[in-house]
Amino acid sequence: MITTSSRRAVLAGLSGLGATSLAGCVTQGGAPARRTPGLIAPAPPAFVVPPLAPLRMSADRITRITVCLRPFRAAGPRLDVEDVNGKRVVHNYGHGGSGWSLSWGSSTIAAGKALEGGTKEVAVIGCGALGLTSALLLQRAGAKVTIYAKERTPQTRSFRATGTWSPDSRVAEADKVAPGFPALWEEMARTSYATYQTLLGLPGEPVSWSDRYTLFDRAGVGPPAPRPGGAVHFAEYGERLRDIVPVSQELPAGSHPFPVPRVRHATSMQFNVTDLAHMLTSDFLAEGGKIVAMTFDTPADLARLKEPVVVNCTGYGARALWKDETITPVRGQIAWLAPQPEVRYGVYYKHVSVLPRPDGIVVQQVGDSDQWGYGVDDERPDRAEAEAAVATIAELYARASSAA
């Protein structure tokens, strides 16, 4: 039973005044406890909500606002091969909001296609998530690799990504993918997930785990909102990874420090994009790779390259370079707040996502439907949107503080 005094102790966790613990129990993955004949099985250990440092949400803490256009293709990422002006071109772009999450798996497929026939000299176009992982995998397979790109990682759209494990975020349209795409997606996701596991615990935390809390103002869950006419039905494949990805759990009422009636907890992988991109670039160069500044306006410009094989990792830029009208922009904006090293958890509340990273607190308005930002190609920062998102979370913490 949660008493008034224990409720205050729970709420104190948000203001840094105390610790919290669960009155209920959570099992891992829903697996039943083993029972000994004739004995009552012991209760599984309680999940303990750790003390939560409060997020300092105010518009005057915004350090910058960035906008990224995610390259959505209804059929999913492009991974086919074609001949262009005597070059064998392997495409590796169009991953929607899943570029970092699927990068190692997608690039493994692209690298394999590039090396078919015994080629040992390969050009990679693009220096974002897919370009860097493709180049490293090719290099480690014995190829001599040069990255050609107009921009290096700090200027690429990949650098403006949220940095959370989201392998099926706007990756395809459910009704327009080939029959084998779900299995292909699963292969890419599992390969990437396994690779990122090897980067955990490194200095700079290029990859880490964080607790996430999804908050609801209503105790019950109503039916999903009707999809507007003509809306895209984005593919969702998360269930295919249920055996390897931690499952979210409902927290008992009164056991958490948030002033809402319903909370779900999950543990999720996240990327410190700044350090991860720097690490991949440094590894590529240290292992003998080269990065050459070059702009490509049309596919005919590939003739300038000496390499017979090209891996095209141009992301949203492929829309203009390859005249690929199947790419639809999905706008996403991030308000960056000054870092809070003491915060190690993320929050999702009223369609606003907050994720702590070493380089800042990421605050993102994601809208009240999955159509938010779809078809919008405006990369100009919207200060009003940023301040509204920050204000939403600030109000939450103000209520938590007053309740404590």
pLDDT tens for 78-104 read 999 999 989 999 999 999 999 999 999
> What is the helix (H) or strand (E) element at residue 121, kind and residue range?
strand 121-125
pLDDT in tens, 229-258: 678 999 999 999 999 999 899 998 878 889
Q: How far is CA 13 from the centre of its chain?
A: 28
pLDDT greater than 70 at residue 272: yes
With cut-offs at 50, 70 and 90, classify the pLDDT of residue 400.
Answer: confident
Mean pLDDT to the nearest integer, 269-278: 96
pLDDT of residue 8: 36
Answer whether 350's CB lies under 8 Å from 363's CB. Answer: no
Mean pLDDT to the nearest integer, 193-198: 98
With cut-offs at 50, 70 and 90, classify the pLDDT of residue 352.
Answer: very high
* Dihedral angle sign, alpha carbons of residues 168, 101, 132, 377: positive
pLDDT of residue 50: 78
With cut-offs at 50, 70 and 90, classify the pLDDT of residue 30.
Answer: very low
pLDDT of residue 223: 62
Domain map of the chain by residue range?
59-403
With cut-offs at 50, 70 and 90, classify the pLDDT of residue 186.
Answer: very high
Percentage of residues in the chain having pLDDT higher than 70: 85
**pTM of the prediction?**
0.86
CA–CA separation, 280 and 158 (whole Å): 13
pLDDT greater than 70 at residue 9: no
Nearest of 265, 255, 213 to residue 3 by alpha carbon:
255
How does the average pLDDT of the chain come out, rounded?
A: 88
Nearest of 365, 184, 386, 193 to residue 271 by alpha carbon:
193
Q: Lowest-pLDDT range, 27-41, 69-83, 280-294?
A: 27-41
pLDDT greater than 80 at residue 366: yes
Side-chain-side CA neighbours of 60 within 13 Å: the count stands at 0
Mean pLDDT to the nearest integer, 161-180: 96
Could you give the C-alpha distances from 301 to 48, 84, 172, 304, 313, in angstroms and in order?
58, 10, 29, 6, 15
pLDDT of residue 116: 95
With cut-offs at 50, 70 and 90, classify the pLDDT of residue 311.
Answer: very high
Q: Please check whether the domain covering 59-403 is classified as CATH 3.40.50.720.
A: yes
pLDDT of residue 181: 98
pLDDT greater than 90 at residue 228: no
CA–CA separation, 80 and 123 (whole Å): 16
pLDDT of residue 404: 66
The residue among 230 and 160 whose pLDDT is bigger is 160
Mean pLDDT to the nearest integer, 342-347: 96
Mean pLDDT to the nearest integer, 152-169: 93
pLDDT greater than 70 at residue 39: no
Percentage of residues in the chain having pLDDT higher than 90: 78
Answer whether 307's CB lies under 8 Å from 163's CB. Answer: no
Answer whether 315's CB lies under 8 Å from 128's CB. Answer: yes
Mean pLDDT to the nearest integer, 169-183: 97
CA–CA separation, 338 and 64 (whole Å): 9
Mean pLDDT to the nearest integer, 7-32: 34
pLDDT greater than 60 at residue 29: no
Residue type, 262: R
* Structure letter (DSSP) for residue 257: S
